[in-house]
């Protein structure tokens, strides 16, 4: 799958690690080599501007996120660089592919690429990064230079069936992975989209913008909203679409939605917990059916990090 809906921002320089650690919701400094993580970037009120998956590539950091949020991330981060030795750039010379399915590792091997076998692990081959991501089927994100992308695509399509970008977004939905698009910037706190349930928040790393609000919700109370996986027969609503109850009161917001190819749409929506057992509808009246997530929404205190 060509992942044209995503973009990559690079952070390089002597202070890049410390700078990202001070700005993002996760423990950048503590990330082991050859691992990736999710991290949110919040405003002072704890509302998410973006969510990125980041990993080390050589001496730099790469942050992968929705393309419509990349300029927001760059603009906001650059405001706080000050005297830090950090250079932030939009890598327009990189291509992103997705590979998934039970034979995904075999396809990567036939293309001469490694296939890391643990969720969150990263393998490299020359200038190509291969990230193993969580999902209901084996799933890999490839980040490679434009120069080698055509040959890699050709090699992959000799053993794998091409699919469109929407299928990758459907896999993200089924994996319960949150995203923030331009239409939903500054709408959610991390817990509203289950970011801490997919290891996107560290509660031990120290300060970052919005940290006090995020930590207070974690330690002093339960979120009033959570992200749920839903299904409907309506066409996919865009991110930011309101979810309503039967009395047309707004009780949530669509995070992302994609057609399944079988006259159905699956979506993620951040919903009021108190309304989850009530009938839920889109603004056009289409009803939503709740589906399971691949992880629990709550965890024992001993499991929190």
Query: 82 or 178: whose pLDDT is higher?
Result: 178
> Distance between CA atoms of 295 and 210, rounded to whole angstroms?
25
- Domains 6-161 and 182-303 are alike in CATH topology: no
Which of 272, 299, 286 lies closest to 235, judged by CA? 286
Identify the pLDDT of residue 168: 97
Summarize pLDDT for 19-78 with one digit per residue, the tens.
999 999 999 999 998 999 999 999 999 999 999 999 999 999 999 999 999 999 999 999
Kindly report the CATH class assigned to 182-303.
Answer: mainly beta
Alpha helices by DSSP H, listed for the chain, are 16-23, 67-78, 104-110, 149-157, 165-174, 211-220
| Mean pLDDT calculated for residue range 149-157 | 96
pLDDT of the residue at 301:
56
- Cβ contacts of 1 within 8 Å, gap of 6 or more: 97, 98, 99, 100, 162, 163, 164, 165, 167, 168
In the chain, where the domains are located: 6-161, 182-303
| 291 bridge partner residues | 229
The whole-number pLDDT of residue 300 equals 60
pLDDT at 303 over 90: no
> Where does the pLDDT of residue 302 fall: very low under 50, low under 70, confident under 90, or very high at 90 and above?
very low
Which residues have a Cβ under 8 Å from the Cβ of 204 and sit 6 or more positions away? Answer: 27, 305
CA distances from 68 to 6, 20, 53, 74, 216 (A): 8, 20, 15, 12, 30
Instruction: Give pLDDT tens digits for 78-122.
Output: 999 988 999 999 999 999 999 999 999 999 999 999 999 999 999
Rounded distance between C-alpha atoms, residue 279 and residue 291, angstroms: 14
Statement: 6-161 belongs to CATH 3.30.1330.60: no
pLDDT at 236: 97
pLDDT digits (tens, 9 = 90+) for 237-270: 999 999 999 999 999 999 999 999 888 999 999 9
Mean pLDDT computed over every residue of the chain: 95
Whole-number CA gyration radius for the chain: 19
The three-class DSSP label of residue 235 is: coil
């Amino acid at each position: 799958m060509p992942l044209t809906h995503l973009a990559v921002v690079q952070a390089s320089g002597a202070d890049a690690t410390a700078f990202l650690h001070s700005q993002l919701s996760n423990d950048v400094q503590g990330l082991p080599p050859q691992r990736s993580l999710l991290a949110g970037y919040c405003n002072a009120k704890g509302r998410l501007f973006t969510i990125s998956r980041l990993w080390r590539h050589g001496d730099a950091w790469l942050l992968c996120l929705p393309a419509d949020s990349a300029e927001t991330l760059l603009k906001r981060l650059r405001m706080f660089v000050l005297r830090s030795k950090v250079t932030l750039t939009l890598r327009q010379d990189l291509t992103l592919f997705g590979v998934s399915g039970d034979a995904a590792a075999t396809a990567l091997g036939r293309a001469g690429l490694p296939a890391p076998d643990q969720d969150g692990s990263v393998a490299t081959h020359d200038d190509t990064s291969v990230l193993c991501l969580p999902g209901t089927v084996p799933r890999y994100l490839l980040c490679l230079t434009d120069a080698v992308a055509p040959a890699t695509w050709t090699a992959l399509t000799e053993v794998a069936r091409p699919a469109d970008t929407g299928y990758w977004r459907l896999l993200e939905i089924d994996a319960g992975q949150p995203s923030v698009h331009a239409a939903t910037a500054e709408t959610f706190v991390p817990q509203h989209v289950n970011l801490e349930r997919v290891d996107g928040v560290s509660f031990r790393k120290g300060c970052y913008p919005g940290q006090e609000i995020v930590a207070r919700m974690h330690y002093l109370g339960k979120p009033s909203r959570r992200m749920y996986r839903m299904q409907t027969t309506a066409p996919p609503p865009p991110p930011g679409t309101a979810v309503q109850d039967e009395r047309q009161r707004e009780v949530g917001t669509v995070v992302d939605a994609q057609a399944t190819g079988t006259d159905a749409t699956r979506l993620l929506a951040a919903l009021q917990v108190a309304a989850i057992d009530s009938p839920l509808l889109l603004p056009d009246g289409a009803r939503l059916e709740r589906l399971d997530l691949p992880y629990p929404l709550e965890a024992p205190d001993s499991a929190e990090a």
